[in-house]
Amino acid sequence: MTSLHTITKPPSAAALQSCAKFLSEGDSILLLEDGVYYSADANNWPALPLGTKVYGLKEDFVARGLSKIVDRQVELVDYARFVQLSCEHDKVVSWL
Amino acid sequence: MTSLHTITKPPSAAALQSCAKFLSEGDSILLLEDGVYYSADANNWPALPLGTKVYGLKEDFVARGLSKIVDRQVELVDYARFVQLSCEHDKVVSWL
Amino acid sequence: MKFSLVVYSAPYSSQSAATALHFAQQLLIQGHEIYRLFFFGDGVHNASKLAVVSQDETHIQQQWDSLIAENNIDSVVCVSSALKRGIINLEESNRHDLESISLSDSSEIAGLGQLIDASINSDRLVNFG
Amino acid sequence: MKFSLVVYSAPYSSQSAATALHFAQQLLIQGHEIYRLFFFGDGVHNASKLAVVSQDETHIQQQWDSLIAENNIDSVVCVSSALKRGIINLEESNRHDLESISLSDSSEIAGLGQLIDASINSDRLVNFG
Amino acid sequence: MNTTNSNTEITLLARSAPYGSGAAKLCLDVSIAAAVFEQTVNYVFLDDGIYQVLDEQDASPINSKSLGKTLEALGLYGIEKLYVDEDSLRKRNLSTDQLLPQVELVNADAIKKFINQSKFVLTL
Amino acid sequence: MNTTNSNTEITLLARSAPYGSGAAKLCLDVSIAAAVFEQTVNYVFLDDGIYQVLDEQDASPINSKSLGKTLEALGLYGIEKLYVDEDSLRKRNLSTDQLLPQVELVNADAIKKFINQSKFVLTL
pLDDT tens, residue order, chain C (129 aa): 999 999 999 999 999 999 999 999 999 999 999 999 999 999 999 999 999 999 999 999 999 999 999 999 999 999 999 999 999 999 999 999 999 999 999 999 999 999 999 999 999 999 999
Task: Mention the CATH class of domain C2-128.
Answer: alpha beta
Q: What is the pLDDT of residues A71-87, one digit of tens each?
A: 778 999 999 999 999 99
Instruction: Verify F-E touch: 3 or more CB pairs within 8 A.
Output: no
Residue A70 banded pLDDT, cuts 50, 70, 90:
confident
> How far is residue E79's CA from residue A8's CA, in Å, rounded to a whole number?
30
pLDDT of the residue at F5 = 52
- For the cut 90, the answer to whether the pLDDT of residue F7 exceeds it is no
Which pTM value belongs to this model? 0.96
Interchain proximity B83–D129, CB inside 8 Å: no
- Give residue A27's identity as a one-letter amino acid code: D
Mean pLDDT computed over A15-38: 97
Q: Backbone dihedral region of A26: left (phi > 0), alpha (psi from -120 to 50 degrees) or beta? A: left
Residue D18 distance to chain E (closest CA, Å)? 8
Number of structural domains in chain A: 1
Interchain proximity B93–F117, CB inside 8 Å: no
Number of structural domains in chain E: 1
Q: Of F6, F5, F42, whose CA–CA distance to F117 is shortest? A: F42
Which chain E residues contact residue D56 at CB under 8 A? 65
pLDDT tens, residue order, chain D (129 aa): 999 999 999 999 999 999 999 999 999 999 999 999 999 999 999 999 999 999 999 999 999 999 999 999 999 999 999 999 999 999 999 999 999 999 999 999 999 999 999 999 999 999 999
Backbone phi, then psi, for F20, in 5-degree steps?
Answer: -60, -40
F122 to chain D, any CB pair closer than 8 A? The answer is yes
The stretches of chain B forming alpha helices (DSSP H) are 15-20, 58-63, 79-88
Interchain proximity C124–A87, CB inside 8 Å: yes
Half-sphere exposure of A58 (CA within 13 A, CB side): 9
What's the gap between Cα F105 and its chain centre?
12
What amino acid positions of D are annotated as catalytic residues? Answer: 78
- Would you list the domain boundaries of chain C? 2-128
> How far is residue F71's CA from residue F23's CA, in Å, rounded to a whole number?
14
- For the cut 50, the answer to whether the pLDDT of residue E3 exceeds it is no
Instruction: List beta partners, residue C32.
Output: none
Backbone phi, then psi, for F21, in 5-degree steps?
Answer: -125, 170
Q: Model ipTM?
A: 0.96
Residue B43 banded pLDDT, cuts 50, 70, 90:
confident
C4 sits in which H/E element: strand C2-7
- Positive or negative: CA dihedral D78, D80, D85, D86: positive
Q: Of E50, E46, E23, whose CA–CA distance to E115 is shortest? A: E46
Q: What is the pLDDT of residues C38-52, one digit of tens each?
A: 999 999 999 999 999
Domain presence at residue E75: yes
CATH number at residue B11: 3.40.1260.10
Mean pLDDT computed over B41-62: 94
The percent of residues above 90 in pLDDT, for chain B, comes to 86
Domain presence at residue F2: no
Half-sphere exposure of C28 (CA within 13 A, CB side): 15
Residue D66 distance to chain C (closest CA, Å)? 17
> How far is residue D46's CA from residue D73's CA, in Å, rounded to a whole number?
15
> How far is residue F30's CA from residue D116's CA, in Å, rounded to a whole number?
8
The percent of residues above 90 in pLDDT, for chain F, comes to 94
Question: In this structure, are residues C37 and C68 in contact, taking their beta carbons and an 8 Å threshold?
Answer: yes
Containing structural domain, residue E54: 9-123
Containing structural domain, residue A88: 3-95
The percent of residues above 70 in pLDDT, for chain B, comes to 100
Residue B66 distance to chain F (closest CA, Å)? 27
Domain presence at residue E66: yes
- For the cut 50, the answer to whether the pLDDT of residue E4 exceeds it is no
Q: Of E69, D88, D124, whose CA–CA distance to B84 is shortest? A: D124
